[in-house]
């Protein structure tokens, strides 16, 4: 990439946390059995269970998010069921139809700022059970939410508990996509911890790829009997890593000494600084997001000018004259990089 360009397009531009690289190098020529049956996977599983305060949980490691979602959703649903999700959810929009490839419909509900409300889920489920001929429709078999959402917003503990309650009342599992979970955990206003997720959800994943791992996600299933023969389902989805230890070892490093709880902090610190500077410079934010993603409304002229110095993600056109772009910080963002970005952003409005 060009020197001088500031890279804020996503939170998966760097490699891995140095501790992970150290552990990979250190164990490189050890011989271990395959498919997640090695001792590093076992050690990582133990640490994750402890962090979730959920001794009986099954832990499964995956390589990436779309793969994880497609496999878990397929594992949880019967062939004739679909998954409730926000219309902005990752599985609804950005997984190229991976859920449908598995034969399941995504039952999209309108959310707000990326979030579903317990009320809208409840209304949908009640309506489905109501009058009329519902057995010609796809049966809602689970609910999917993301924490943080694709828009960087957070479910509060109260909101999560309410959604969990609705799902349990209706007997369907709740699954949480935690691709950026570390950025929720590091966010001051977050009140949902790993033990809360383990208590309130039926399955969730702890994101590694965007949160300091070279790649990898850890699925937590508090009650392992929920998905029988999950190993074979993972294999069938092409999602079983031969050298499972590469995943286990990374999560063992991420969950040693509380690293995962801390690892998102630099991203949040940088994002907070950037948000303050944006407000000061008079930029509008598309909506308030407290985590590592910032959605800024730019005039087209500003967009053009900033694009010369700055790399961000195009999000959507707001109107003819304005565009929404996403700035993402990461675990590896330095204070200096944030300062450079702030300086760059200030110039069009100076």
Report the site for its own copies in 319-348 (rule: CB under 8 A).
Answer: 332
User: Which residue number, 79 or 308, has a Cβ lying nearer to its own copies?
Assistant: 79
Alpha carbons 281 and 251: distance in angstroms, whole number: 40
Distance CA 45, CA 60 (A): 8
Q: Do residues 226 and 76 lie in contact, with contact meaning Cβ atoms separated by under 8 Å?
A: yes
Nearest to 222, CA basis, from 166, 164, 148: 164
Interacting residue with its own copies among 51, 106, 185, 294 (CB under 8 A)? 106
| Binding test (CB under 8 A) with its own copies, winner from 19, 42, 46, 100 | 100
Q: Using CB atoms within 10 A of its CB, is residue 119 exposed (0-12), middle (13-18) or buried (19+)? A: exposed
| Contacts of its own copies in 155-184 (CB under 8 A) | none
Site for its own copies (CB under 8 A): which residue of 85, 167, 219, 241? 241
The nearer residue to its own copies, 135 or 336, going by C-beta atoms, is 135
Q: Pick from 4, 28, 336, 350: which binds its own copies (CB under 8 A)?
A: 28
Q: Using the rule CB under 8 A, is 42 a contact of its own copies?
A: no
Compute how many residues bind its own copies; rule: CB under 8 A: 83
DSSP character string of 249-294: HHHHHHTGGGHHHHHTHHHHHHHHHHHHHHHHHTPEESS---SSEE
Cα–chain-centroid distance for residue 302? 30
The one among 94, 119, 288, 349 contacting its own copies by CB under 8 A: 94
Q: How far is the CB of 237 from its own copies (least distance, A)?
A: 7
Contacts to its own copies from residues 48-87, by CB under 8 A: 63-71, 74-75, 78-80, 82
Interface residue with its own copies, options 162, 166, 184, 233 (CB under 8 A): 233
Q: Candidates 159-167, 228-236, 260-268, 339-347 — which segment interacts with its own copies by CB under 8 A? A: 228-236
Q: How far is the CB of 243 from its own copies (least distance, A)?
A: 6
Q: How far apart are alpha carbons 69 and 95 in whole angstroms?
A: 9
């Amino acid at each position: 990439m060009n020197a001088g360009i500031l890279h804020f397009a996503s939170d998966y531009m760097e490699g891995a946390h140095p501790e992970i690289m150290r552990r990979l190098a250190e164990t490189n020529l050890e011989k271990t059995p395959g498919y997640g049956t090695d001792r590093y996977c076992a050690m990582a599983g133990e640490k994750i269970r402890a962090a979730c305060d959920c001794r009986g949980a099954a832990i499964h490691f995956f390589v990436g998010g779309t793969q994880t979602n497609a496999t878990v959703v397929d594992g949880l649903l019967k062939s004739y069921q679909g998954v409730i999700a926000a219309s902005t959810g990752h599985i609804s929009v950005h997984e190229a139809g991976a859920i449908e490839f598995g034969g399941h419909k995504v039952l999209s509900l309108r959310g707000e700022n990326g979030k579903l409300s317990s009320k809208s889920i409840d209304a949908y489920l009640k309506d489905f059970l109501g009058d009329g001929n519902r057995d010609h429709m796809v049966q809602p078999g689970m609910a999917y939410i993301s924490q943080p959402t694709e828009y960087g917003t957070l479910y509060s503990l109260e909101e999560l508990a309410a959604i969990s309650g609705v799902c349990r009342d209706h007997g369907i599992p709740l699954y949480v996509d935690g691709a950026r979970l570390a950025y929720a955990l590091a966010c001051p206003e977050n009140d949902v911890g790993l033990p809360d997720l383990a208590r309130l959800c039926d399955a969730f994943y702890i994101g590694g790829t965007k949160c300091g791992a070279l790649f990898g996600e850890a699925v937590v299933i508090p009650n392992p009997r929920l998905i029988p023969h999950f190993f074979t389902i993972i294999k069938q989805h092409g999602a079983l890593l031969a050298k499972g230890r590469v995943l286990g070892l990374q999560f063992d490093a991420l969950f040693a000494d509380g690293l995962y709880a801390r690892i998102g902090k630099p991203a949040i610190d940088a994002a907070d600084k950037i948000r303050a500077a944006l407000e000061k410079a008079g930029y509008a934010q598309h909506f308030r997001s407290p985590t590592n993603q910032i959605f800024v409304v730019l005039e087209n002229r500003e967009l053009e000018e900033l694009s010369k110095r700055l790399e961000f993600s195009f999000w959507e056109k707001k109107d003819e004259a304005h565009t929404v772009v996403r700035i993402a910080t990461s675990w590896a963002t330095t204070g200096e990089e944030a300062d450079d970005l702030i300086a760059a952003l200030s110039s069009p409005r100076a």
